[in-house]
Amino acid sequence: MKMKIKKLATVQMGYSFRTRLEVSDDGGVAVIQMKDLLDTNTVCCDELVRINMDAVKEHHLAQRGDLVFRSRGLVTTAAVLLENPGKAVVAAPLLRIRVTKPDKILPEYLNWYISQRDAQIFLTSRAKGTVQKMISKQAIEELEVALPSLEKQTTIVELAALSAREQTLLHRLADKQEQYISTVLMQFAATDGKKGTTDGHR
């Protein structure tokens, strides 16, 4: 079974700030920006900038389980909020996706699905702009999502997380191997050079 996102979640434009953010350490509202979206498609709440904002309507506030979608640029994936960000808003041009049918779809599964090939092909086909690609709110709402059981969705999310962790470890291992080989070759080159110098003096 497939269902469009608009029947499973609400998609809302991020809060549009008319002026540059006036950062305040003791500000009452945190702001989720592009820089807070990690490669693991999760939102890092450790270094959210804080601002003073007089009136924040309840519907602008982000919450645990929300997805933050990258609507501009080459990367058109989302990041899920795995923790409660406190009093926080999502800044434009990011979009906020909030699951409204938790009995049909898990936020983590939707987050995973958006980054998959079929979804990415669909979103790319709907992208607008020549210099900077942009995915509209309507395009996201029209994306059809395959809906297995919640149990299967949980399994998919867990397996995807394990696979991502494995890839990270393999990359680290490859980097260390490359550094090791480079060090050995440099030592070999240096030794060879010294030997050549000694031979020359004979």
Could you list the residue range(s) of the whole structural domain that residue 170 is in? 149-196
- 51 and 37 assigned to the same domain: yes
For residues 40 and 23, state if they share a domain.
yes
In this structure, are residues 49 and 8 in contact, taking their beta carbons and an 8 Å threshold?
no
Q: What is the pLDDT of residue 57?
A: 80
Task: Indicate if 24 and 47 belong to the same structural domain.
Answer: yes
Same domain, residue pair 40 and 99: yes
Give the residue among 1, 5, 2 at the shortest CA–CA distance from 141. Answer: 5
Would 140 be classed as within a structural domain?
yes
202 lies in some domain: no
User: Do 175 and 94 lie in a common domain?
Assistant: no
Count structural domains, the chain: 2
pLDDT given at position 74: 82
**173 in a structural domain:** yes
**Would 8 be classed as within a structural domain?**
yes
pTM of the model: 0.82
Rg (CA), the chain: 23
Q: Is 120 exposed, middle or buried (0-12, 13-18, 19+ CB in 10 A)?
A: middle
Torsion sign, CA atoms 125, 126, 130, 132? negative
pLDDT score for 18: 74
Residues 166 and 70 in one domain: no
| Shared domain check, 120 and 189 | no
Residues of the chain with pLDDT under 70: 192-202
pLDDT for residue 129: 80
pLDDT of residue 192: 57
> Does 191 lie in the same domain as 97?
no
- Domain harbouring 92, CATH code: 3.90.220.20
Exposed / middle / buried, residue 44 (Cβ in 10 Å: 0-12, 13-18, 19+) = middle
